[in-house]
Chains A and B, each alone.
Chain A
């Protein structure tokens, strides 16, 4: 800026001098001419005083006019300079300073941020330096405080998660009703403490508490959310949809829902119920939380909407007791949830939370899984157990022959089904083998699951009546040898042999 403003400044001076000179010359010429004419025309008696008087006046005029011209030019110059300075000051206030603060907020160090700034003069440089140091210190303090909060919250989360697991184990161990009652109480308190720790973690920008390795069905989502608030017994859930929320987002959804439920329960009379409705829509799943408590005014509704939809979390707007909506807002941004508020027909406030379709999967409920997915196969036994371990060897071969990949599709527990339909198509049901020759596990599936078809096939091969009599005889011989306790080495070898033999067969059927 200095570079291109400097040459501008002397320019008005030169015309000013020239103007002055011009004014002097004109004045000299005019006054000289007037003087000469006046003196020559005057009578002799007054010529001398007139000459002197008029001469003096002419000289005075010759001084005064250029002086006035100079003054005028100077005024104009100063006015221009003042305007320019004001303009530059505006620039400084509007651009330099915000840019500097922006750079500091963006994580630049004080020196880096100052290096990019271009102060016009010393005063501006000083202002910028002071500002940079102060803002830099405040930013560093904020970052340190957030990091400390996040660290503490993470440890608290780990602690509560461990405690919850231990409490669950104790609940299983102690059958006594009184003990169980006490344990449940502790469990509830710990879950609430865990929610608080989760909230702090969310606000400080740490990762959320835990990740579920499988999609979580909606009933569990709602109950998980209920379990984290104080007045969970007042929450009534009305849900018949059979959907699940993807594992990576389940915790966030549960936490956001817990905060909304907590709000609803806290701001309604202690005996009023809070109702949760779940319904499927085109864009996903809508969870509605309705209370019959205080009606939120329009202003309050707008403020709540703003809190949950703000782009950036404003830490200064937080208060110690009302973290809920800020947490919901942050989680909503993270997982793409849409939260809106409206007055409820029950007399209180209704909150709608839309879970986008990407986070939804549709686990097949146990009773409908056999019929719909594989009509070719009928499962007579164990209707309650879709996740039954292995098909029993004897009836399975007849039933499974016509549709080889079907049993695997069916045997997978509904919970582990991935939400993308493409993933459940035939090809990747086959176990995949890595370079090492060992079966590879797909994400989100247990190895036992991934390997199930392999085992089913082995079972089929083992039970198929394809063995030649000689082979059967060899097997029986091996069995006898093992029974007779001959040396271990040969025993192991012969025990392995049937399995080795069954491998080549699996390509034949």
Chain B
């Protein structure tokens, strides 16, 4: 059904990002959760509007990318725009943060040795 070049949208990606190919912040990786902090205002770029509406509940960057049908890099540029203007917040999934709270490896090693000795 989709012939190449026929059914995609007329706007090119560089007009979506206004010529940038690099996100201004490193806050986003694929699984960063994004939550919108305010509603869309009229006159906003339509991608921004869609992101804000999509991220009313925490949504991963990769999901936003799939929903908008845009490459992740482009989505990260759009997200960092929104982050810079304070319309969204981003946080990393809990697991990444909790890695610091794991028992330290010495203790684990001792447990392992203990188990082997049983």
Contact = CB atoms under 8 A, between A and B. Distances in A.
Interface of A: 161-162, 164-166, 168-169, 171-172, 175-178, 180-181, 184-185, 187-188, 191, 210, 212-213, 216-217, 219-221, 223-224, 226-227, 232-233, 238-240, 250-251, 254, 366-367, 383-384, 446
B10 A221 contact: yes
Given A180-B21, A232-B19, A227 B1 contact: no
Nearest to B19: A233
A184 B12 CA distance: 9
A217 B56 CA distance: 25
Interface string B1-43: 1001111111111111111011100000000000000000011
A224 B12 CA distance: 7
B54 interface: yes
B91 interface: no
Contacts of A384: 50, 53-54, 67
Nearest to A166: B4
Contacts of B71: 171-172, 175, 180
Contacts of B82: none
Interface string B54-88: 10100000000001000111100000000000000
Contact of A187 (B12, B18, B72): B12
Contacts of A164: 5, 12
B46 A219 contact: yes
A97 B19 CA distance: 58
Contact of B11 (A177, A181, A223, A367): A223
Contacts of A169: 4
A396 to B, nearest CB: 22
A191 to B, nearest CB: 6
A232 to B, nearest CB: 6
Nearest to A173: B71
Contacts of A238: 43
B22 A184 contact: no
B21 A177 contact: yes
Nearest to B51: A384
A473 B105 CA distance: 59
A232 B18 CA distance: 8
Contact of A210 (B5, B9, B19): B5
B17 to A, nearest CB: 8
Contacts of B17: 184
A228 to B, nearest CB: 9
Given A220-B9, A223-B11, A383-B53, A240 B42 contact: yes
A223 B1 CA distance: 25
B16 A223 contact: yes
